[in-house]
Amino acid sequence: MKERLDLYPVNNSILNDAIDRIVVKLHGLNKKNGAKTFLCTGAGANGGTTTVALNIAISLAEAGWKTVFLDCDLRKDQRFKRIGTEAKTSLTGFLTGEVSDYNNIIYNTSVDNLDYVFSGEKNENPVRLLCNAKMETLLSRLKKSYDFVIIDTPPVSITNDAEILIPVVDKYLIVVCMNETTKKQLVDSRIQLGDYEKKFAGIVANKLGIMQYKGAVKDFDYFSKKNLLKKQNDAIERKKGK
């Protein structure tokens, strides 16, 4: 019996609302085109791709969709992954042939409907591993068993790992970090992945300040308890004043 991985969903309603906006788009693509495998990459390093990808997976799972999160960042050691559980089996193990049954690299998590595949040991030659025909086999098997497969990859500005995987996924997203990712990085990423324009699902603007978010989604707090109470009290006051 494999260990269960503890994941902690975000408790911030604004952040959850922002993630749900992405999930609505993915859900639409799933319904419209049957898209199931979504790859997330960054236009620059440290912009929040992994955080966004994991929270998309949690949100889909919490909505009742059978979801698996596939960590395809083979360049980072497990100890830099903010995950407490040590992976005994992993994607690397499957791709190198050490683990023959893909079911053995799938871990349950504390979030209902969400499973997790660890990347495994840091690998010196991820390009060759990701090009491996087994990767395609794995994705087609996961597609049969899950409603959604969310794939996390390193940024395109540093590696071409995402570029290797995009041909074998349905759609991809680019995460940019507001106030950090440069316009050039974003343009370069779009050019680099230009051959796969039909698979491009959009850009996620991450790490917006609250005022920037308000600028993008004006009445994002319209349904907050505080706002609704104020509306209710104003209406009562108006009635009293009649």
> 131 contacts which partner out of ligand ATP, Mg ion, none, CB within 5 to 8 A by kind?
none
Cβ–Cβ < 8 Å for 77, 87:
no
Nearer to ligand ATP, 37 or 119 (CB): 119
* Tokens matching residue 104: 């053995």
- Name the residue with the smallest CB distance to ligand ATP: 48
Whole-number minimum distance, CB 82 to ligand ATP, in Å? 7
51 binds, among ligand ATP, Mg ion, none (CB under 5 to 8 A by kind): ligand ATP
In the range 198-217, which residues lie near ligand ATP by CB under 6 A? 206-207
**50 touches Mg ion (CB under 5 A):** yes
Q: Is 51 near ligand ATP (CB under 6 A)?
A: yes
Q: Which does 126 bind (CB under 5 to 8 A by kind): ligand ATP, Mg ion, none?
A: none
- Pick the piece of the chain touching ligand ATP (CB under 6 A) from 22-30, 44-52, 94-102, 165-173: 44-52
> What's the one-letter identity of residue 105?
I
Q: Give the CA dihedral 142, 146, 152, 157, nearest 10 degrees.
A: 70
Write down the least CB distance from residue 211 to Mg ion, Å.
Answer: 26
Q: Of 43-51, 117-125, 196-204, 228-236, which part binds ligand ATP (CB under 6 A)?
A: 43-51
Q: Which residue is at the shortest CB distance from Mg ion?
A: 50
50 sits near ligand ATP (criterion: CB under 6 A): yes
